[in-house]
Amino acid sequence: MGFTSNELLQISAAWGGWILDGYTSIAYLLVFSYMSVLIFPKYLGYLAIVLTLLPVTFGAAARSLGSVVLGNFIGDKKGRKNLLSISIVGFSVLSAAIGLLPTYSQAGIASPILLYALLFLDGIFAGAEYGGGTALSMESVRPEKREQAGAFVQSGFGTGYFLIVFVEILLLQFMGTSAFASYGWRILMLTAIIPGMITLVIRRLSHETKIFDEMKNSKEIAKSPAKQMFKNRRNIVFALMITSGLLFMNTATGSFYPVIGSADFLNLGSGLLYALLAINFFSLLGVWTGGILAKNFKDRRSPMIIFSLMFTIPTAIFVLFGYTTNIMAFTIVFSIQLFLEALIFSALPVFLAEAFSKKFRATAIGLIYNGGAIAGGTAIILLTAPAHIINIKTLWIVEMYIAGIILILGLVFYKKQENSGDPIEN
């Protein structure tokens, strides 16, 4: 049996936020090298590259703050739908506004200050997306459909990734490299408003979850969802280990491929964009495959442990053979790597949704995911900043294995929530 029309609407409402996240996150990484020479003074040289990438970490911290504040005061008090309607507007408008930034020659030091301010505010709104979207989608589908629903929603990031690469290819073909470097990157960022507004329309057509409405009608709404959340500190710690390890590896793979393929490292030229399309296509296959495979397990944690081991163990092989100027080898090796990584992500939404009470679900999931994203946001800086001192392949292998160990230990020691019925209902 497939999804009902209402379930599809709810899933789509969450999926759109993931699309925007993938779209805007990868857009920034695709244009950072163009921005660095315009937003920062030229005399900074390589440091300008580092300073342009630093807000990736900066924005992740803002997302954690936003997930707690917006989740606590809106998502778990006023409803999942209300939270997501507000977050998508701020997220899309602020992401698009990056395309309007003045250059350093026009505004001086105000230019990088505005960049950091925009990314911080953008992160506040983006932080509400994962917790609110997961709560909305998982509370709206039948238990036996949650694996597929979660995998599909999670695939939104990869879909956004695919779309933004395709849009950049079109812009480059239409205007050429020099024009794109001058102003085309601004157009790319401005297009973020399109998926944002489409998602807003879908969300306005969607419904509040039955679980939240029943909780509201029975006056079970917590006065302080965030305070209740922290009563189970043990699971929060291990859940943060899971998302920190996973999102560090995700940033050090899918988000790092555009960086290592850029002129500052492998210099793969225009072939990089086509490689990213192929790699991301296989990541989408991976997340959908994971949703199907996860149904064969009795619990939510086992597939994540198995998928994590499948991805982590061959890390050194992926780096040694994938870090090459041979575009075919680059594409094949990293397609396999991202396929395996996507298997892990497919099981994450339902795992987190069933791990936390409905009373603080939007807040907790948002904090756990975005708290892990702080570690994830450090990956590119930790890989690029020392790259002129330590061999980048060595750095990459060591850091990936450390993150993999943290992820697996978090999964092993995470204590399963004990509920007699459906964990989503409690």
Check if the beta carbon of residue 147 is closer than 8 Å to that of residue 90. no
What predicted TM-score, i.e. pTM, was given to this entire model? 0.90
Dihedrals phi, psi of 124, to nearest 5 degrees: -55, -50
Confidence of residue 420 (pLDDT cuts 50, 70, 90): very low
Mean pLDDT of the chain: 92
> How many angstroms separate the Cα of 277 from the Cα of each of 169, 274, 358?
10, 5, 38
**Per-residue pLDDT at 10 exceeds 90:** yes
97: which residues sit within 8 A by CB, 6+ positions away?
A: 118
Tens of pLDDT, residues 113-138? 999 999 999 999 999 999 999 999 99
**What whole-number distance in Å separates Cα of residue 134 and Cα of residue 424?**
11
**Per-residue pLDDT at 421 exceeds 70:** no
Type of residue numbered 53: L
Check if the beta carbon of residue 201 is closer than 8 Å to that of residue 84. no
State which fold the 5-417 domain adopts: Growth Hormone; Chain: A; (1.20.1250)
Considering only residues 425 and 204, tell me which one the structure prediction assigns the higher pLDDT.
Answer: 204
**Per-residue pLDDT at 208 exceeds 80:** yes
**What whole-number distance in Å separates Cα of residue 101 and Cα of residue 197?**
21
Tens of pLDDT, residues 287-323? 999 999 998 887 888 999 999 999 999 999 999 999 9
Of the given ranges (31-40, 337-346, 371-380), which has the lowest mean pLDDT? 371-380
**What whole-number distance in Å separates Cα of residue 59 and Cα of residue 249?**
17
Provide, rounded to the nearest whole percent, the portion of the chain with pLDDT above 90: 78
Count CB-CB contacts under 10 A for residue 42: 11
**What whole-number distance in Å separates Cα of residue 366 and Cα of residue 251?**
18
Of 160, 149, 30, 138, the residue nearest 92 (C-alpha): 160
What pLDDT, on a 0 to 100 scale, did the predictor assign at position 390?
Answer: 85
